[in-house]
């Protein structure tokens, strides 16, 4: 599974920046059937966490109501240079991560 | 049964050429033009287009060693951004060694098995789609230009015949929707011209990436016709006809479609 | 005339919202007013599998006055609580976008939970169109 994070290349200290994340995941609802007619068990990402330099900047608790390959766009205040860590966990306990760094100038 | 055959014969007896309404070159429109504003925006968003996830994965796989000899695609083909640029515009094409018409997916599988000595990837598997999406994306913006001369001519004619032949319980040929009725509304959708320039594409109905072959299977299902197995030569022949029919349209992959 | 009346946030409307169990689960029965939240979704969605959604909330997002969470509730999905997003002063701006699944045409409600414990909402109706062609490929 791959994921993408988009941050501006750099920001001024205190600037509100846009963060975009995209995670490859089927968000299987549990209501679909495979070719042989057996139900496909539910497996959705239930938690998406974004932490910047160790501090949580977004926590999303999501359900099958979020589209496959979840996309999120949100904002955060850029205080200092560092790294955004994106973590997601699904019903099967699979955890994925992706990182992106940001340069903050005075 | 006899009556059914008779009806079928009556419809087939009309020379196909008489029913043909081929789209004039000035009216050729990508399926993109038939999308609503939200999906247009999604396809054009280089970050949020979900197909980019497969392209990213394909880029990693290009450099990853696979198979007995531990070779990657890059070990033979170098940097795909130069070696694979423009390659997708002329697929499907005749493989010089076997003389057979091959889709890009089939060509990737051939390399993987014969050159990399790796186990074949399943059709529509994440890895095969990732590689074909990555390679096709490197031709984005370049016009499609199928070669239908020489040995490809026979495949082209078979594909063309497929396009104009009625099939399935709805007794429709490809041309009935995509040549004769494009732009009109079916249920709540606008019928497109059925061009292959966005594939592999992310399809919302599937909620995943899929190949042109899967899309053609969906059309067969739509007219309640027999769905031919993956890898059937009919799909590749039809894809060649479609590529020729769409000649000049820019490659859009990874496209976004309903 | 009637259409105009229906679009006004009336008392009876507020009460009917509060009786909806999926919304009460979020608000714990607190008063919910249709203000300060703006929910943007297409009037007609081409496909229910990925419908764009944007929520923005009027808030200074200061250390003492900020949006704690944004909740999305569907009227007709089998799982009605679509998502909860936890924000804070570090967010700078109370706005987010995502893509949601809608199991048919329905209302979607966005609820903002503020740092002072108050709840605000907006609601929109989305018409979901179906595919013209059967696909059992």
Tell me if B6 is assigned to some domain: no
pLDDT band at A12 (very low <50, low <70, confident <90, very high): very high
Give the CA distances from residue B86 to residues B27, B242, B246, B248, C13, in Å, rounded to whole numbers and listed in that order: 24, 18, 16, 13, 59
Quickly state the pLDDT bin for C132 (edges 50, 70, 90): confident
- Which domains can be identified in chain A, with CATH numbers? 3-105 (2.60.40.10)
State which H helix or E strand residue C13 sits in.
helix C11-18
Residues in C closer than 8 angstroms to B191, CB to CB, are 132
Question: How far A73 CA sits from the closest chain B CA (Å)?
Answer: 10
For residue B22, give every residue at least 6 positions away whose Cβ sits within 8 Å of its Cβ, in sequence order, or none: B179
For chain B, say whether A69 makes contact (Cβ under 8 Å): yes
**ipTM score for this prediction:** 0.94
Higher pLDDT pick, B35 / C11: B35
Choose the closest CB to A69 out of B47, B50, B60: B50
- Residue C75 within a domain: yes
In terms of domains, do B39 and B60 share one? no
Which chain C residue is nearest to residue A33, measuring alpha carbons? C136
Span A15-43, mean pLDDT? 95
Q: Are residues B90 and B150 in the same domain?
A: no
What tokens does C83 get?
């998502």
Q: Where in the sequence numbering do the catalytic residues of B fall?
A: 219
Domain count across chain B:
2
- The mean per-residue pLDDT over the stretch B66-82 comes to 94
- Give the minimum alpha-carbon distance from C13 to chain B in angstroms, rounded to a whole number: 31
Residue in C59, C63, C122 with CA at minimum distance from that of residue C93? C59
A41-76 pLDDT tens trace: 999 999 999 999 999 999 999 999 999 999 999 999
- Asked whether residue C3 carries a pLDDT value surpassing 80, the answer given is no
Name the pLDDT band for C9 (thresholds 50, 70, 90).
Answer: very low
Domain containing C52: what range?
Answer: 30-128
Among B97, B115, B137, where does a domain finish?
A: B137
**Is 80 exceeded by the pLDDT of residue A98?**
yes
State both tokens at B23: 């789209």
Of C46, C135, C136, the CB nearest to B38: C46
Which of B103, B137, B171 marks a domain boundary?
A: B137
Token digits of residue B37: 């504003």
pLDDT at C12 over 70: no
Model pLDDT, residue A1: 74
The pLDDT value recorded for residue B19 is 58
Are B169 and B78 members of one domain? no
Same domain, B174 and B231: yes
Chain B residues within an 8 Å CB radius of C134:
221-222, 224
What Å distances lie between residue A39 and B37, B198, C41, CA to CA?
34, 31, 31
What value does the mean pLDDT take over residues B145-164? 97
pLDDT tens-digit map of C32-55: 999 999 999 999 999 999 999 999
Q: What is the CATH number of the domain that holds C74?
A: 2.60.40.2470
* Domain endpoint, select from B103, B120, B137: B137
Please tell me whether residues B58 and B185 are part of one structural domain.
no
In a domain, C19, yes or no: no
Domain range for B246: 27-45+144-257
Q: For residue C82, which residues of chain A lie inside 8 Å, CB to CB?
A: 62-63, 65-66
- pLDDT of B5 over the 90 cut: no
Q: Do C135 and B221 touch (CB under 8 A)?
A: yes
The verdict on B128 and B59 lying in the same domain is yes
Identify whether residues B86 and B180 lie together within a single domain.
Answer: no
Confidence of residue B69 (pLDDT cuts 50, 70, 90): confident
Instruction: Provide the percentage of residues in chain B whose pLDDT is more than 70.
Output: 92
Mean pLDDT of C104-113: 97
Average pLDDT, chain B: 92
Asked whether residue C8 is domain-assigned, the answer is no
Does residue B193 sit within a domain?
A: yes
Tell me: pLDDT of B21 over 80.
no
Residues B130 and B176 both lie in one domain = no
Residue B166 shares a structural domain with residue B69 = no
Range list of β-strands (E), B71-158: 93-94, 101-102
Count: domains in chain C: 1
Give the residue numbers in B contacting C (CB under 8 Å), as ranges. 35-36, 38-39, 41-42, 50, 186-189, 191, 204-207, 214, 217-222, 224, 227, 258
Chain A touching partners, 3 or more CB pairs below 8 A:
B, C
The closest of C115, C80, C110 to C97, measured between CA atoms, is C110
3-class DSSP assignment, residue B6: helix
Q: What is the pLDDT of residue A35?
A: 81
- At residue B86, does pLDDT exceed 60? yes
CATH of the domain at B239: 1.10.760.10
A 14-53: CB under 8 A from B: 20, 22, 24, 26-27
What's the pLDDT score for residue B14? 46
Q: Binning pLDDT at 50, 70 and 90, where does residue C15 land?
A: very low
Q: Considering the domain boundaries, does residue C5 fall inside one? A: no
Is C137 contained in some domain?
no
Q: C121 lies in a domain?
A: yes
State the burial class of residue A62 (Cβ atoms within 10 Å of its Cβ: 0-12, 13-18, 19+).
Answer: buried
- In this structure, the answer to whether residues B249 and B151 fall within a common structural domain is yes
More confident residue, B78 or B186: B78
- pLDDT for B188: 84
Task: Please give, rounded to a whole number of angstroms, the shortest distance from the CA of C89 to a CA of chain A.
Answer: 8
Buried b (16+ CB within 10 A) or exposed e, B170-184: eebbbbbbbbeebee
pLDDT value for C18: 66
Name residues whose C-beta falls within 8 Å of residue B37's C-beta, 6 or more positions apart in sequence: none
| CA dist., res. A18 & res. C134, Å (int) | 39
Q: Which residue has the higher pLDDT, B228 or C9?
A: B228
Residue C22 lies in a domain: no
B204 to chain A nearest CA, in Å? 9
* Residue B109 is assigned to a structural domain of this protein: yes
Average pLDDT of the residues of chain A: 96
Assess whether B118 and B229 both reside in one domain.
no
Question: Are residues B72 and B165 both part of a single domain?
Answer: no
């Amino acid at each position: 599974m791959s994921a993408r994070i988009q941050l501006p290349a750099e920001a001024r200290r205190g600037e509100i920046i846009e963060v975009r994340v995209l995670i490859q995941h089927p968000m299987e609802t549990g209501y679909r059937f495979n070719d042989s007619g057996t139900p496909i068990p539910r497996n959705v990402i239930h938690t998406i966490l974004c932490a910047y330099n160790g501090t949580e900047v977004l926590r999303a608790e999501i359900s099958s109501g979020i589209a496959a390959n979840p996309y999120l766009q949100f904002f955060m205040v850029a205080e200092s240079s560092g790294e955004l860590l994106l973590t997601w966990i699904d019903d099967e306990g699979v955890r994925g991560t992706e990182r992106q760094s940001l340069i903050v100038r005075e | 049964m006899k009556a059914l055959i008779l009806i079928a014969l009556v419809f087939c007896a009309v020379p196909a050429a008489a029913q043909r309404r081929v789209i004039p070159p000035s009216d050729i429109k990508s399926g993109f033009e038939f999308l609503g504003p939200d999906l247009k925006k999604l396809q054009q968003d280089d970050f949020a287009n979900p197909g980019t996830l497969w392209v990213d994965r394909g880029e990693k796989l290009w450099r990853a060693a696979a198979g007995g000899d531990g070779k990657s695609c890059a070990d033979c083909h170098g940097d795909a951004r130069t070696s694979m640029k423009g390659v997708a515009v002329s697929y499907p094409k005749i493989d010089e060694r076997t003389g057979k018409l091959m889709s890009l997916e089939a060509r990737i599988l051939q390399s993987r098995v014969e050159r990399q000595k790796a186990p074949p990837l399943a059709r529509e598997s994440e890895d095969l789609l990732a590689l074909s999406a990555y390679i096709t994306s490197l031709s984005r913006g370049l016009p499609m230009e199928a070669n239908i001369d020489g040995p490809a001519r026979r495949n082209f004619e078979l594909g063309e015949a497929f396009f104009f032949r009625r099939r399935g319980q709805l007794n429709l040929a490809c041309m009935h929707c995509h040549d004769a009725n494009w732009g009109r509304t079916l249920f709540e959708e606008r019928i497109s011209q059925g061009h292959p320039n966005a594939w592999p594409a992310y399809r919302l109905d599937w909620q995943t990436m899929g190949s042109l072959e899967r899309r053609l299977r969906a059309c067969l299902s739509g007219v309640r016709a027999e769905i031919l197995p993956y890898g059937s030569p009919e799909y590749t022949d039809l894809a060649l006809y479609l590529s020729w029919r769409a000649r000049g349209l820019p490659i859009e992959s990874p496209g976004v479609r309903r | 005339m009637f259409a105009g009346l229906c679009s006004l946030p009336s008392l009876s409307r507020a009460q009917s919202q509060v009786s909806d169990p999926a919304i009460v689960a979020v608000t714990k029965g607190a008063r919910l007013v249709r203000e300060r939240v703006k929910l943007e979704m297409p009037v007609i969605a081409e496909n229910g599998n990925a419908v764009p959604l944007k929520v923005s909330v009027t808030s200074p997002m200061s250390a003492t006055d900020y949006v704690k969470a944004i909740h999305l509730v569907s009227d007709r999905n089998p799982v009605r609580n679509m998502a909860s997003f936890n924000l804070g002063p570090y967010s700078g701006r109370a706005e987010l976008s995502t893509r949601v699944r809608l199991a048919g045409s329905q209302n979607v409600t966005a609820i903002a939970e503020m740092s002072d414990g108050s709840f605000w909402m907006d609601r929109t109706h989305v018409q979901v169109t179906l595919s013209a062609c059967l696909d059992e490929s």
